[in-house]
Amino acid sequence: MRKGNLEHSSNGYKIIVVDDEEGIIDSLSIFLKRSGYEFTGVTNPLEAIEKVKNEHFDLMLLDFIMMPIHGDQVVEEIRKFNKELYILLLTGHKDLAPPLETIRRLDIQGYCEKSDKFDQLLLLIESGIKAISQMNMIKDMNDKLKDTYKQLERAYMESIQTLRYTVEAKDSYTRGHSDRVSEFSVLIGKHLGLSDSDLKTLQIGGLFHDIGKIGVPDSILLKDGKLTDDEYSEIKNHPSIGAHILSTATIFKDIIPIVKHHHEKYDGFGYPSKLNGENIPYFARITAVADTFDAMTSKRTYRDALPLDVVISEIERCKGTQFDPKIADVFLDILHNHYDEVKSIQERYK
């Protein structure tokens, strides 16, 4: 990073020098500015900590033996809020340098013995600046990749939402059903003490759990009367169809088990894979309870919504056969003691 005749022209990198000797600060100021760096000199280590907290610096040159605190204590404080600052330690003598274990623990990138000649120090600084430049480049690339990923994720979500709305347009029952199943699933998850990340998976899984109905013929999906065995077999394909639709996008990998297995039964007599007990994905077991509850409490072409006491009795009866008994018990507790939370969801999607 030498600038030769381009003395004092900045290369954009900011260096802070912390040393309680004014003479060292003055010498390094001339040397570093001549080499093209933006320079800040500080004699008080406590002031230096505040400067780093409030301003951006690329690299710090730090004296080890100082008052009122030594250089390793300065780094200890800085690392609490800044993990990226590149730090080079200056020592009056190499025997006075902190132990190697301390240097590693505090992520100090190197140290240099003080000298009247700054050639070795300049090489260390140039090496540090190259490392900083690479780090900045990688950070920029990661930021761009994150932006690209977010754009792709948004595009996938919009595409799948379009499919979901297409299903809802075909089947008036489905309209609002997926939203309610999503919210009921999240409600159960909250009462189970699940993490925000898990709740997000339940939310999206609930929204898309019936996406596979896009592949079910309208004549079956919209039929008023009882389905034939063949027609029911067609309906039972929708979880597998939905999982297949979502399998092309990695962002949906966490919700595919919900989409594919929300019709499995705890006793192993569900579909499509006849999984039983804890072999059924946990989130699918939660969604199964939410899905069935909404089906029972929604008006259909062939029946009215079932009364709450009938629904509670049915969930109680199906514990251990259709439903995971622990999850069913949590939902039954919600229905008995927190029904206002359920009612508010139903009111929103009438």
Lowest mean per-residue pLDDT among 184-193, 223-232, 273-282: 223-232
Q: Which of 62, 32, 36, 58 shows the shortest CA–CA distance to 49? A: 62
The verdict on whether 326 is a catalytic residue reads no
Can you give the pLDDT at residue 35? 87
- Catalytic option among 114, 213, 253, 274: 213
Q: Which amino acid is it at 141?
A: M
Can you give the pLDDT at residue 324? 97
- The number of folded domains in the chain is 2
Return d(Cα 259, Cα 210) in angstroms, integer. 7
Residues 130 and 160 in one domain: no
- With respect to residue 146, please indicate whether it lies within any of the assigned structural domains: no
The predicted model gives 111-123 an average pLDDT of: 79
* Res. 5 pLDDT band, cuts 50 70 90: very low
Query: Could you read off the pLDDT of 196-245 as tens digits, one per residue?
Result: 999 999 999 999 899 888 888 877 777 777 788 888 888 898 999 889 98
- What size, in residues, is the chain? 350
- With respect to residue 28, please indicate whether it lies within any of the assigned structural domains: yes
- With respect to residue 201, please indicate whether it lies within any of the assigned structural domains: yes
Model's pTM, two decimal places? Answer: 0.60
3-state secondary structure of 38: strand
Can you give the pLDDT at residue 316? 97
**Cβ atoms within 10 Å, residue 28:** 20
Residues 120 and 162 in one domain: no
Residues 55 and 186 in one domain: no
Return d(Cα 37, Cα 52) in angstroms, integer. 17
Please tell me the number of Cα atoms within 13 Å of 255 on its side-chain side: 28
Domain containing residue 246: 155-348
Q: Tell me: pLDDT of 270 over 50.
A: yes
Residues 119 and 165 in one domain: no
Residue 162 sits in a domain of what CATH number? 1.10.3210.10
The predicted model gives 1-30 an average pLDDT of: 76
Return d(Cα 184, Cα 332) in angstroms, integer. 12
Residue written as tokens 């301390």?
102
Average pLDDT, the chain: 87
